[in-house]
Amino acid sequence: MLRNPWGDFEWNGDWSDKSDLWTDDIKEQCGYNDDVGLFWMSYTDICHYFSRIQVCHINDDYSYSFMKANHTTDSYSLMRLKVSGDGEHTITVNQTDERCFSRDSSYDYSYCRLVIFKIEEDADNLDEIKMSYVRGVSGWDRETHAMFDSLEHGDYYLYVEMDWGKDTEDTEFCVSCYGVSKSFFLRDEKSLFDKHAFLRKGYASKCSQASKYESIQVSNYDAKGAPEIKKMKEFTEEGYGFIHIANDEKEATFKEVVTFKNFQ
């Protein structure tokens, strides 16, 4: 059974209100009624007519906050979010819905990266800020989201980067937080930091917790007499790749040639 309150016409195929497939017995088993906006379809027809289906996540006691943002290609947004309590929260990036454009429009959803860092110790200088990597996600859909069963209270940086399509003119998007506690978007702080410097800082924090992530490949150099050198690399779920060298040797220098054969 599906609900489509915004539809302009009714479904008239198999299992519609006027379909001959319904029997009194099947209606009773399915709890059938002919309320406006509710209708039934076969799974085959669903796959044919719908490219995606979303399940709403609603709780009457949850709080919702949002902030609109806009940035050009090759730039980014850095939302500062304050979460007041521990518990279930969902952080989402929403692009303008394709239904806002005419059917002959070339508009399509763009690739979105969302990376979440927790601010452990704040400072005016990036080098002095202490933050920890929390999670990263990416996608081509209207919504890109990260769901947390138990997100800790505190301040967070939400790094958002949109790879806008070449024909995209509407570059506005919305970042939201929905969960058990009240949350507040304070401001976009991208003007305070260099994009690449911020990412280096953020992924270095992930490497400092490398034992927590099976996806990080760690190489050591014990056999070469340099046990305090470690190389960590990963291609992340959010679409970034990194190589991080941690050299705690006092008298050894690490040198390596890296070749990218298909760099895009």
264/262 Cα distance (integer angstroms): 6
The per-residue b/e assignment along 197-231, b for 16 or more CB within 10 angstroms, e otherwise, is ebbebbbebbbeebeeeeebeeeebeeeebeebbb
What one-letter code names the amino acid at 98? E
Q: Which of 4, 12, 70, 220 is catalytic?
A: 4
Spatial neighbors of 228 by CB under 8 A, at least 6 apart, are 247, 248, 249, 252
Whether residue 70 lies in the annotated active site: no
Q: Do residues 84 and 183 lie in contact, with contact meaning Cβ atoms separated by under 8 Å?
A: yes
Segments in the chain forming alpha helices (H): 24-30, 43-49, 195-207
Task: Sort 162 into a burial class: Cβ within 10 Å, 0-12 / 13-18 / 19+.
Answer: buried
DSSP state letter for 149: E
Assigned token pair, 141: 């859909």
Catalytic residues: 4
